[in-house]
Each structure stands twice: as structure tokens, then as C-alpha cells.
Structure 1
Amino acid sequence: MNNIFQVIQVNSALIILVLIILVILLLLAQFILYRRFKEVSRRYKLLTRGPNGADLEQILQQYAGDVKKLEKGEEELRVQQERLKEQVAECVHNLGLVRFNAFDNMGSDLSFSLAMLDRRGDGVVLTGLYGRDETRLYAKPIRKGTSDYSLTQEEIKAVQISLEKI
């Protein structure tokens, strides 16, 4: 143990010099780390501060609210789309027209049968019979491609033409 104290006494100046250099290096490292921390801290503050001075939490809350509004708007649009699909299904989509000569003594195909049906096959068939002195128009309801009233061959053909287009 005495030997250790003698070595320390003989080399005390060298040991102090090494310790001073070590302290200086530690202080230099501390200074470098402090500057890097300040730079990272400055960047973090810039990141968390949004436009108008809002912090990151406020920005995220605002975005979450915006997403909820968009989801609500999307649901409203989906409901409206379903309503429109139902309305479109009830609209007249396809026409079936057959022109014919109702009377043998007439020269042209001036009579007609016009089927106006929706996608379900519901609608009406109109038949116009042209004669020299008068024209008569008849309407017969159509449900799912058929009618409770008797249909002429021309009316049946007009309904078939309309149903083929559906």
C-alpha cells in the first residue's frame, strides 16, 4: 500500500495534468451536447407549432374533427345516393316503338304502339290507331312486363322491345 502512495506522490503532477485534460474533454463534450440539444429542441418546437401558433395537439384535434365531419357527409351522400337509385329505377328508361298499318285501306304505317317502362318492367303502353277521319289513343298499364288488359300483337312486341333494353 505504501508503494501506491509513493507512486502517486512521484507522479502527482502527471496525474493532475491527465485529470485536467479529462475534465476539459468532458466540458467540451458537454458543450457540444448542449448545442445539439438546443438545435433539436428548436426543431421540435417548430414541428409542434403549426400555423396560427397552434401546437401539434390542437392541430391533431382539428384534423380529427374534420375527419368526423367528412364521415358524416359521406354517410349523408350514401343515403342520398340510395334514394336516387330508387327514384331512377322508377323512371322510364327504355322505349319500345312499333309502327304498323291498323287498317288495310290506309297506305302508311301511321298507327303505333309505344311501351314506356322502368327498370322493373312497370309502365304503360300507348297505342295510337290512325284512321282517315280520326285517330284514337289507348293506354294500358304494364306491371312487371304484363298487363291485366288484353294486349295486341303490336303492343306485346313494343313491350318486348322495351324489356330487351332493360
Structure 2
Amino acid sequence: MTLSPEVLTVVAIAAAALAVVGLLLAWRARRDHAALLHRFEVLWGDDPGDVASVLDRQSAALGTERTRIDGLERTVAGLRDEVSQSLQHVAVVRYDAFGDMGGRLSFSAAVIDDRGDGMVLSSIHARGESRTYAKGIVGGRSDVTLTPEEQQALAAAREGEDA
């Protein structure tokens, strides 16, 4: 059986079209393969290997970072505890202790930590003398009676405002 020249031309054109489509598909597959290799290079790093070894290395790196983060969290918790025990809340109340004195030279200062532990310092200024008193504060209370000015300073220190 002999094929006519027209049929041979159609077959040749079809073969050429299939060849072009095949080349385009091969080019696209090559491009996608190169992109995939690039992604794996990022994952693998400098030491390429099989997927299992790459995942093992990544898992070990994550474990190391988790240990480091846990240590940092413990450090931060310890620092928060230390800061909460520092005398950081301060308030001062100035007043005239005696009616004949002006200038509000007497004062009561409360200095406490987050738990309400600390002290109240009071300085009473008179014409010829000045006296200073310190009263301990535990849990926001004193075992010694506080003056109204000392109570005001302690309340202001707890609330975080200057009296």
C-alpha cells in the first residue's frame, strides 16, 4: 500500500506538531524540575542527602532551638520574679506637720514592691528639729499605726501614682 503525497504531508505536519508539543512539554518539565531542585537546596543546605536525613537534621536543629527557647523562658521568669521583689513603687506626700510652719517641709514616702512589701519613711520638720521615722510594710500593711499622710503615701504607691 502506497500513501499519496497529500497523506504523507499531513502525517509529516502532524509529526512535526507532536514534536513541537513534546519539546514544549520537555522545556516546561525541565524548568519545573530546576525550581524544585532549588527548593530542595534551601531545605537541604550545604549537605544534600535523602529526604530522611534532611528531616533528621531539621528535627535536631528544631530540638536545639526548643531547648534554647525553654532556657530563655526560665531566665525571663526568674527575672520577672526578681523585678517583682524590687522596691519599685514609690509615692511621696508632702505636708505641714505643724500649723505654724509653712512650705510643706515634712513628708512621708512609701517604697514598696509588687507584693506590697517595703517601708514608709516619714520626716517631720519642726522649727528647731527634724525627726525621721521608718515603718516596715508587709503585704500592704504595717504592724505599727500609720499616720493619715503615711496611709495616703502607701495607697498612692500601690496605685502607682504620686500623691
With the shorter chain as reference, the TM-score category is 0.5 to 0.7
Match of residue 97 from structure 2: 102
Give 4+ residue runs of structure 1 displaced > 3 Å after superposition: 45-53
Residue 121 to residue 61, structure 1, CA distance change in 2 (3 Å)? same
Give distance in 2, aligned partners of 1:111 and 1:87: 32
Identical pairs, percent? 31
Q: Match for residue 143 of structure 2?
A: 148
Instruction: Give the Cα–Cα distance (whole angstroms) in 2 for the partners of residues 46 and 73 of structure 1.
Output: 32
Compare CA radii of gyration and give the structure with the larger one. Answer: 1
- Under a length normalisation based on structure 1, what TM-score does the superposition of the two structures give? 0.66
Q: Give 5+ residue unaligned stretches, structure 2.
A: 1-21
Label 1:71 to 1:53 Cα distance change in 2 as closer, same or farther (>3 A).
Answer: closer
Tell me, what secondary structure is at the counterpart of 1:97?
A: strand
Q: 2:117 aligns with which of 114, 122, 126?
A: 122
The structure with more helix, counted as a fraction of residues? 1
Q: CA deviation at 1:84?
A: 1.4
TM-score (norm 2): 0.67
Summarize the Cα distance change of 1:56–1:132 in structure 2 as closer, same or farther, 3 Å threshold: farther
What is the CA distance between 1:126 and its match in structure 2? 0.5
Q: CA RMSD in A?
A: 3.3
Task: Label 1:65 to 1:104 Cα distance change in 2 as closer, same or farther (>3 A).
Answer: same
How many residue pairs align between the two structures?
138
Which amino acid in the other structure matches residue 46 of structure 2? N
